[in-house]
Amino acid sequence: MSLINIHWPLADMLFSFHESNVAGKVIVLLLFAGSIYAWTIMVNKYVELRRASESSLQFLRAFRKHRDPLTLYLREQSFGASPLFAIYAKACDALGAELETMGHNADELFRTAAETDTNQLTPHQFEVLRNVTQRNVADRSLLMERRMNILATAVNASPFLGLLGTVWGVMEAFTAMALVGQATLSAVAPGIAAALLTTVMGLLVALPSAIGYNLLSGKISELQVQTHNFAQELIDKIQTQFLQTR
């Protein structure tokens, strides 16, 4: 096969871009920038979720080794990338704040409760603690979903933006053909090829974004279920350890 007859996709796209009108070039550049931004979000979000998942597994293993729910808090152990640990730390802080409102030293009460199973919270205080924990679960869910709406926008908007460029380019190609008065394929083909470039770029943005969005959404849903389950487990342990029974 002769090398002359081989068409490289990149060369074809560069030719089509060169033949595009101003609107087509602007749309292609916008889609190219959008593709880079979408890939940046997907890579960063994947790394973030992977670290969160690994850190959460380490935290759960450490947390479940001890009967007392405050052991890790008292030892000042940290699992910074874990959303579960963030919920745990906030719940322990809220527990300490509730105990201090009763005129007690929270640290001492933590240790006393851990050693003697002394119950300290009233039902009202326990309900306050439960609400704080639930709010922190919701906050963590929002943080995990941050910038996912941008990927969803890329999935939905980029094909239509590409289609807009194609329709615009085809319209101009046929208008120019009518003005020149030539209906030959050689007169129309460059303009049509240039117009179709925007559709290709739109699909090149939408397809990876759609796949990445679905994969990342699945991982986020998994972590959200994990945070809800852990929050309930933590509340149950605090209830057993600190809630007044009389």
Determine contact, residues 83/59, Cβ cutoff 8 Å.
Answer: no
Residue 1 lies in a domain: no
pLDDT of residue 111: 58
Sign of the four-CA dihedral 144, 213, 228, 71: negative
Determine contact, residues 230/85, Cβ cutoff 8 Å.
Answer: no
Q: Which domain holds residue 103?
A: 7-242
pLDDT of residue 73: 86
The 3-state DSSP class for residue 213 equals helix
pLDDT of residue 108: 60
pTM of the shown model: 0.81
Residue 197 lies in a domain: yes
The CA distance from 55 to 60, in Å, is: 9
Q: What is the mean pLDDT of each run of 10 residues along the chain (246 residues)?
A: 50 67 84 93 95 94 89 85 93 84 62 55 87 94 92 93 86 73 63 80 92 95 95 91 68
Q: Which of 66, 82, 137, 140 is nearest to 74 (CA)?
A: 66
The CA distance from 95 to 229, in Å, is: 19
The CA distance from 236 to 20, in Å, is: 64
Query: What dihedral do alpha carbons 204, 207, 213, 215 form, nearest 10°?
Result: -120
Structural domains of the chain, count: 1
Determine contact, residues 213/148, Cβ cutoff 8 Å.
Answer: yes
The CA distance from 126 to 118, in Å, is: 15
Residue 2 lies in a domain: no
Q: What is the DSSP letter of 121?
A: B
Query: Given phi > 0 = left and psi -120 to 50 = alpha, else beta, which region is 162?
Result: alpha
Residue 39 lies in a domain: yes
pLDDT of residue 70: 85
Residue 134 lies in a domain: yes
Q: Output the CA angle 63-238-229, nearest 5 degrees.
A: 60
